Chains A and B, each alone.
Chain A
Amino acid sequence: MSLGDELRYLRAFYGGIGPSAIEDKTGLPRGTLRYMEQRYRRVGEDDEVLAKLAAFYGTTLENLQFHRERYRKAFSAYLQQGLESGQPIRVRLRTGETLSGVVRWWDLGAFGLQEQDQLTVVQRHAVVDWEGADVR
């Protein structure tokens, strides 16, 4: 799960208030949070900003730093590699489950994971970690 997905997930749990309201409450410049939530590239380089958001959402800086390393483009590359190689991939989900299978397709929102005769549509924002994410 990318930092943007994690931040949107936390915001949804917080009650779904708008990014600008959170920016006002945390003293972040306007547009900072929206930018971080929507980018596909690696974002959130400033630990001070992350620390403010972590304090606001009641999570840890380390948690946000963990998600910063798992940005969406990196996950896309992992899925594409799996699609091209035909080798099974392994993903750990927010639910605590680990799914494995062969990638049949992927897009910006989800990917199709085939395990034996069953295709599972996995939401990209539900993937917390994947095999080899630390190795990059």
Chain B
Amino acid sequence: MPEDLQLIRKRKGMEAAQLAARAGIPLSLLKEYEAGSKPISPDHLRRLARALYVEPWDINPRSAPPRREEKPLPPRREEKPAAPPSPKKEKPRREPRPPAPIREGQIAHLLSAAARFGIDRAALEAQIGKPLEQMNEVEGRQWNRRFTERLKAEKPPKKPIDRRRAYLPEGVDRFESDYLEAVKASGDTIAFTLFNGEQHHGAVIGYCPYSITIRQADGSETTLNKLAIAYYRRAGGSA
């Protein structure tokens, strides 16, 4: 009478992994055979029989599915009576922390906001009633908020941005611009020396960031590229 694979293996005192290794089949497949979820192929049946020292017909080609053994339920825990609510411990009241001192950023913000209304530091401190450094963070916040609201309401004019800075190094920057303005106004003749040694004489009639236009003695106008100019000075030698 053929018997189930697992029954024979256990009788022979063999581990599943040991049998799988001996028969040369994967352990997972062996477990499927033992669980009855797959019928044992004829080839594997021969191998298993050889490994178990039985005849192939001694092994049931399809094992019966294992019975589920009902596990006994764990004993119920005895319900403990609910503990009476513990009296609330009253936390000791903490003293409110003193506010942190004013931050440098707050002072800077306050000064710049006040400056928009023409209020300098001294006037601001007089208005607040104490030096800015003696204020705390909360006061700083309140005063900044006050100025922000005032700025929103009144919109004082912004300082015009100085756009005369040169973008490229050969551009006309602040002091050179002042000089060119002065010589343009005076109408003096300026001697320009270029990189290649060429010289041009004329009165400055205009300039832009990267070039200067002059009117020469014959009335012709020439625009000199700043990158080509080495230096220039008033012709005749005055500052």
Binding site for B on A (CB under 8 A): 2, 4-5, 8-9, 12, 38, 40, 72, 93-95, 97, 99, 105-112, 114, 117-126
Contacts and interface: CB of A to CB of B under 8 A. Distances in A.
B174 interface: yes
B229 A123 contact: yes
Contact of A112 (B166, B168, B179, B237): B179
A125 B225 CA distance: 13
The A contact surface, by secondary structure, is mixed
A122 B231 contact: yes
The 3 A-B pairs with the shortest beta carbon distances in the complex, nearest first, are: A107-B173, A126-B230, A119-B239
Nearest to B179: A121
B213 interface: no
Interface of B: 165-166, 168-176, 179, 193, 195-197, 226-234, 237-239
A109 B230 contact: no
B207 to A, nearest CB: 11
B182 to A, nearest CB: 11
A65 to B, nearest CB: 20
Nearest to A11: B227
Nearest to A127: B230
Contact of A123 (B175, B231, B237, B239): B231
A72 to B, nearest CB: 6
Nearest to B227: A12
Given A119-B239, A123-B226, A125-B227, A108 B169 contact: yes
Nearest to A9: B227
10 contacts: A9-B195, A93-B230, A95-B197, A107-B175, A108-B166, A108-B169, A109-B176, A120-B231, A123-B230, A124-B170
A94 B195 contact: yes
Contacts of A123: 170, 226, 229-231
Contacts of B166: 107-109
A126 B233 contact: no
B168 A38 contact: yes
